[in-house]
Amino acid sequence: HFSPLVLCLDDLQWADTSSLNIIELLLSDVQNKCSFMIIGCYRSNEVDENHILSGSLNTLAEMHELLSLTKMELGNLGREEVNQAIMSLLSIDGEPQTE
């Protein structure tokens, strides 16, 4: 029995073609019966329709029979949100201390 694998990749707006091809290959491997999830993060303000990442995302979206692609757009986090996230991760109660 294998545990699910979750891989988080940040700054995909800087990924090269070979790296994006490997991601596509990993996600389209129908022979792999193990649970596998990739969380990909990128700056949408740096990726337009001509960017290589857009092409990869379109290719993955076309594989809807093989995989489930969910796209979430998050805004920028302010100081208060970052403080709250850090405090939550560290199990700290009270007012944020970071200035």
8 Å CB contact between 41 and 8:
yes
- Note the pLDDT tens digit of each residue in 9-32: 999 999 999 999 999 988 888 777
Provide the whole-model pTM.
Answer: 0.69
Per-residue pLDDT band at 63 (split at 50, 70, 90): confident
> Strand ranges (DSSP E) for the chain?
5-9, 36-40
Q: Is 60 exposed, middle or buried (0-12, 13-18, 19+ CB in 10 A)?
A: buried
